[in-house]
């Protein structure tokens, strides 16, 4: 991206040479990446939209677990849409511009959805803890009011995190290079362009991102310790397998998401490197939103059965016509 500044510090950024030098060094590579990212994006849209539709239509999936999963699918759907369409445009066309407002808007919603996903995953971990460790009390504890409170809190954390971070970066002055060394408006490459002291902004980002990741990860860890303890106490192998299968998908999704975000954000911006950070960013901005619906559907018999029921109903209606 290129940024051009004026006297009032208004900025215009243009996705430019870093797409060429970072994600593709030739026209052929950019075409290959465009086709690959487009395919991933279509699978992401279809998978997450399909998950939302199945959960909405199938009454047997109207439970706390799938209530959270529906919101997770919405976040992944939105998260991917914030990043991928502009990246596809940059790879295919010569128009690599993005306005100052557009760039900071992209960064704002990117942070919003990442932070929201952290606490949605934490809410899902608590839901699995109650389901496995306190099954008889599950309907009482995981009430509708509590589920809505968890989801609302998740979106509020996203709003607070993104607002604080973007305000912290917006007060910086940019007067050196106008090239953002990244394929989207992320915090580290934007801070790297500032010609003023960025220590305060870096501290703000580290505290906000670190506290969000740490608190949500603690909730996940504290939830899974009694889950594993309960599973180990089950005598039969079949019982252990059935209990573990109820949280295996969530555990896989949590591991992938937190590993990539911790690598990207819990480090000083001065350690930002184009190659490694772009690879990590491609993974958690483009790949993970596609993986989540696949993980939760392929490893979940209830979702598979709901899909079969939906297909059967559709087939019956067609036959009646």
Which of 263, 260, 246 is CA-nearest to residue 299?
Answer: 246
String of b and e for 41-76 (b: at least 16 CB within 10 Å)?
Answer: beebbebbebbbebbeebeebebbbbbbbbbbbbbb
| Residue-level pLDDT, tens digit, the chain, 321 residues | 444 444 344 444 444 434 334 455 567 788 888 899 999 999 999 989 988 988 888 888 888 989 999 999 999 999 899 999 988 888 887 667 777 788 889 999 999 999 999 999 999 999 989 988 888 999 999 999 999 999 999 999 999 999 999 999 888 887 766 677 677 888 888 887 788 888 888 888 889 988 998 999 999 989 888 888 888 777 777 767 766 776 777 787 788 888 877 766 655 555 555 555 666 677 778 888 888 888 877 666 777 777 777 777 766 544 444
Long-range contacts of 80-85 (CB under 8 A, 24+ apart): 80/41, 80/44, 80/45, 80/48, 80/285, 80/286, 80/289, 80/290, 81/45, 82/106, 82/109, 82/110, 82/113, 83/110, 83/184, 83/285, 83/286, 84/37, 84/40, 84/41, 84/44, 84/285, 84/286, 85/41
Task: Please report where in the chains the tokens 């004026």 appear, as a residue.
Answer: 6
pLDDT at 5: 42
pLDDT at 292: 81
Q: Which residues is 2 bridged to in the sheet?
A: 14, 179
Instruction: Please report which helix (H) or strand (E) contains residue 17, including its range.
Output: helix 17-18
pLDDT at 149: 96
- Alpha carbon 15 to chain centroid, angstroms: 22
pLDDT at 64: 92
Tokens describing residue 172: 């910086």
Q: Which fold has domain 2-320?
A: Rhopdopsin 7-helix transmembrane proteins (1.20.1070)
- Domain residue limits, the chain: 2-320
Task: Please report where in the chains the tokens 């990539």 appear, as a residue.
Answer: 260
Which of 295, 257, 277, 265 is CA-nearest to residue 79?
Answer: 257
pLDDT at 32: 86
Quote the radius of gyration of the chain (alpha carbons, Å).
22
Distance CA 50, CA 171 (A): 41
Distance CA 273, CA 277 (A): 6
Tokens describing residue 107: 């960064």
pLDDT at 19: 37
Distance CA 303, CA 54 (A): 8
Ordered alpha helix ranges (H), 171-287 = 187-191, 199-233, 237-265, 274-282
Q: Residue 133 in contact with residue 226, Cβ under 8 Å?
A: yes
Residues near 13 by beta carbon (within 8 Å), at least 6 away in sequence: 1, 2, 3, 97, 98, 99, 100, 103, 178, 180, 185
């Amino acid at each position: 991206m290129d940024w051009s500044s004026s006297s009032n510090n208004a900025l215009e950024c243009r996705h430019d040479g870093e797409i060429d030098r970072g994600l593709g060094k030739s026209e052929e590579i950019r075409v290959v990446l465009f086709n690959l990212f487009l395919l991933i994006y279509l699978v992401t849209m279809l998978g997450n939209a399909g998950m939302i539709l199945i959960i909405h239509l199938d009454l047997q999936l109207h439970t706390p677990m799938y209530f959270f999963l529906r919101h997770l699918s919405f976040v992944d759907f939105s998260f991917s849409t914030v990043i991928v369409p502009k990246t596809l445009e940059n790879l295919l066309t010569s128009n690599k511009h993005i306005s100052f407002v557009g760039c900071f808007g992209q960064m704002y919603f990117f942070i919003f959805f990442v932070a929201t996903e952290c606490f949605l995953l934490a809410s899902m971990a608590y839901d699995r803890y109650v389901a496995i460790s306190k099954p008889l009390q599950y309907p009482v504890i995981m009430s509708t009011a509590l589920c809505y409170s968890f989801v609302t809190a998740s979106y509020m954390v996203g709003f607070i995190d993104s607002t604080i971070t973007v305000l912290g970066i917006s007060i910086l002055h940019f007067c050196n290079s106008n090239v953002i060394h990244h394929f989207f408006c992320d915090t580290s490459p934007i801070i790297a362009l500032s010609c003023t002291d960025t220590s305060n902004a870096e501290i703000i980002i580290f505290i906000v991102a670190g506290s969000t990741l740490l608190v949500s990860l603690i909730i996940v860890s504290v939830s899974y310790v009694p889950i594993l303890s309960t599973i180990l106490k089950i005598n039969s192998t079949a019982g252990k397998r059935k209990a573990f299968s109820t949280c295996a998908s969530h555990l896989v999704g949590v591991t992938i998401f937190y590993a990539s975000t911790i690598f990207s954000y819990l480090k000083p911006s001065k350690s930002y490197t184009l190659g490694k950070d772009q690879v990590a960013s491609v993974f958690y901005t483009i790949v993970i939103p596609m993986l989540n619906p696949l993980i939760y559907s392929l490893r979940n018999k209830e979702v598979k059965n709901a899909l079969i029921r939906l297909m059967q109903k559709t087939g019956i209606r067609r036959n009646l016509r």
